Amino acid sequence: DAKTTQPPSMDCAEGRAANLPCNHSTISGNEYVYWYRQIHSQGPQYIIHGLKNNETNEMASLIITEDRKSSTLILPHATLRDTAVYYCIVSSGGSNYKLTFGKGTLLTVNP
Amino acid sequence: GAVVSQHPSWVICKSGTSVKIECRSLDFQATTMFWYRQFPKQSLMLMATSNEGSKATYEQGVEKDKFLINHASLTLSTLTVTSAHPEDSSFYICSAGGTGREGYNEQFFGPGTRLTVL
């Protein structure tokens, strides 16, 4: 699976949009971009995934560039409970394929 | 989304004893389950992939005789840490993949088990 690069940390003000970037320049055509987050001392939580089209659900939006070499996770109105480590993962195998976690981005939402 | 549970949520044991951790998919069948380990301030590291009815596949560097995995049914996988030592103290997390139910293209993670070996 392709490797991803994320900034180690970001800050965001409560109520504002949080935009988390991810670089995956070696992504191949059949690989999806997945986003998970992990709140301290809990198991990771699925957020969203996409192949090439932008995606939106009740938690977030995922914007994938046309060349698919990077993506941005958008939390439209960040709250204090969104403080977590966010992982961008590239995977080709669906739900039964192993995920390789990088170091992720620690997002801190400030009051 | 689907729910994955783990039991126990935390355990303290003496060095040399064995500890069993259960991972259950509560409302879906999981043909594949994964076991991860996470040390403080580090990311999740995959230990093994567990397939129902067959032997687990271990990642490089993970001792299969020390970390015994059993996936006897489509809703239960167990990880047994045998002869635990203080260096095995960690946060153990399982995840489960669905069996193709519509919308289940992601893995669902359990809440984790904190193991402390004295």
Q: What 3-state class would DSSP assign to B94?
A: strand
Q: Each residue of A66-79: pLDDT tens digit?
A: 999 999 999 999 99
Amino acid identity of residue B62, one-letter, is V
Chain A CB contacts of B93 below 8 Å: 43-44
Cα→Cα distances A1→A111, B55, B82, B105, Å: 37, 23, 32, 16
The predicted structure's pLDDT at residue B102: 44
**B2 and chain A in contact, CB less than 8 A:** no
Q: Each residue of B47-58: pLDDT tens digit?
A: 999 888 888 999
The predicted structure's pLDDT at residue B2: 78
A99 with B46: Cβ contact below 8 A: yes
